[in-house]
Amino acid sequence: MAAPLAVLAGTRVLSFTQFLLGPSGVQFLADLGADVIKIEPPGGRLWERNWSGCDLYKNGVSVFFLAAHRNQRSLSLDLKRPEGQAIARRLVEGADVLVQNFRPGVMARFGLDWERVATVNPRLIYVSASGYGESSPYRARPGQDLLIQAVSGLASISGRADQPPTPVGTAVVDQHGAALLALGVLGALLERARTGRGLHVEVSMLRAALDLQLEIVTYALNGARMEKSPTSLASMFHPGPYGVYATRDGYLVLSMSPLPALQQALELPALAPYATVPYNFAAREEIARALEPVLRTRTTAAWIELLEPHGVWAAPILTHAEAFADPGFRAADAVEEITHPVAGPVRLLRFPLEFSTGRATVRRAPPSPGEHADEILGELGYARDEIRRLRADGLV
């Protein structure tokens, strides 16, 4: 068995995060070996503990919370009270990274904005994540995945021309923003190693959503005229037959393959006039219309068996249940099962990278509210009597 991954061992991260982007970005850092302290309100009031998609809870524990809080310690702290803010500042003194994704202005009300904490710890890397950016005129608007998909153009580019806009069916902006957040922290740690000084890193969901559209947005910025197709084509900028096609028993996708190879595999005369070039953008809709009735005549598996030997890039469209049962998915070893002290057995996605020096595993189950308060406060120098008083006072 590989050793535990310790790329960020010795790095302390303070997580003032909520919803998905912030917690998931911090979880990447925790999986890399950082000591992550989650700061949350007392009394289990953290939003992500009290919401879960599909109303899915395991023995009362939110599966949404479990998805993005492994390998972290929890300190519940009332940041609205001066003593709570004082404890937070003591944490800042010994931290390497602070990550927050409150709406712009909230951390300033707690006395924990970049300008003030930089005077407490000049080596601190301070990461601000928000919906639109701290200088945006929309800074006070809620930053939520579906909303950002809408205003960034992302929801407008999928689906057929005769269908309404089609958002991505998962929180793709949140998760890409989380990866960018972790990337920003790693870059900032390298910069600090060079200069000895901390820095402020800003992540916005809007920029993450635009980055997801890197290719198509670049075409649009440089004059391309693109329109969605009423056919099976899956994008506005790929040549035919790039798209989703119904088969006798399901669906398959055809990707970027030279048309002569596809025409040879199908022995389809209607395709021959378009296969005089490897990739034919101008006739993309004609290509799709020629293929649609043909591909309905066989099963998905039969088409894959026929097309793959000809070098045609094709794949079946699988449901999650089918994907989880697929040998390729199992070989990826992407899921780890843990036993949570309350939720019981829980299956979680692993950290998505592999390193030769070790493997990211679940060192700590996602914590209960304030589970590590005594431990963390003790590290700050608080005596047991002081900690008992803070607990009795409802501050932690």
CATH code for the domain in which residue 255 is found: 3.30.1540.10
Domain identity same for 250 and 337: no
The CATH number covering residue 372 comes to: 3.40.50.10540
Tell whether 224 is covered by a domain. Answer: no
> Has 69 been annotated as catalytic?
no
> For the chain, what is the radius of gyration of the CA atoms?
25
| Nearest partner of 132 among 114, 147, 116, 117, judged by Cα | 147
CA dihedral (126, 129, 130, 135) positive or negative: positive
Beta pairing partners, 55: none
Domain identity same for 178 and 203: yes
Domain identity same for 372 and 388: yes
Cis before 241 (ω within 30): yes
Tell whether 220 is covered by a domain. Answer: no
For residues 385-395, give the mean pLDDT: 94
Domain identity same for 96 and 143: yes
Decide if 284 contacts 239 (C-beta within 8 A). Answer: yes
- Of 176, 200, 238, 310, which residue is the catalytic one? 238
* E-assigned strand segments in 196-273: 199-204, 243-246, 251-254
Confidence of residue 2 (pLDDT cuts 50, 70, 90): confident
Could you write out the DSSP letters of every residue in 369-391? Answer: TTTTHHHHHHHTT--HHHHHHHH
Identify the three-state secondary structure at position 90: helix
**Whole-angstrom distance, CA of residue 309 vs CA of residue 304:** 9
Domain identity same for 196 and 303: no
pLDDT reported for residue 4 = 87
Please report, as a single letter, which amino acid is at residue 132. Answer: Y
Domain identity same for 269 and 184: no
Residue 198 has pLDDT above 80, yes or no: yes
Beta pairing partners, 159: none
Supply the mean pLDDT for the chain. 95
Burial of 282 from C-beta contacts in 10 A (0-12 / 13-18 / 19+): exposed
CA dihedral (40, 43, 44, 45) positive or negative: negative
Residue 1 has pLDDT above 80, yes or no: no
Tell whether 6 is covered by a domain. Answer: no
Query: Which tens digits make up the pLDDT trace of 145-159?
Result: 999 999 999 999 999
Among 324, 353, 372, the domain-final residue is 324
Domain identity same for 374 and 336: yes
Tell whether 384 is covered by a domain. Answer: yes
Residue 340 has pLDDT above 90, yes or no: yes
Tell whether 297 is covered by a domain. Answer: yes
Residues 303-328: b if buried by 16+ CB within 10 A, e if exposed: bbeebeebebebebebeeeeeeeeee
Q: How many domains does the chain have?
A: 2
Residue 135 has pLDDT above 90, yes or no: no
Q: Which domain holds residue 314?
A: 243-324
Beta pairing partners, 203: 129
Tell whether 235 is covered by a domain. Answer: no
pLDDT reported for residue 146 = 95
Residue 109 has pLDDT above 90, yes or no: yes
Domain identity same for 301 and 353: no
Domain identity same for 159 and 271: no
Domain identity same for 190 and 206: yes
Among 324, 349, 365, the domain-final residue is 324
Tell whether 231 is covered by a domain. Answer: no
Among 272, 306, 324, the domain-final residue is 324
Tell whether 219 is covered by a domain. Answer: no
Domain identity same for 133 and 248: no
Query: Which tens digits make up the pLDDT trace of 264-320?
Result: 999 999 999 999 999 999 999 999 999 999 999 999 999 999 999 999 999 999 999
Q: Which residues contact 52 (CB under 8 A, 6 or more apart)?
A: 62, 63, 64, 65
pLDDT reported for residue 155 = 96
Domain identity same for 194 and 92: yes
Confidence of residue 3 (pLDDT cuts 50, 70, 90): confident
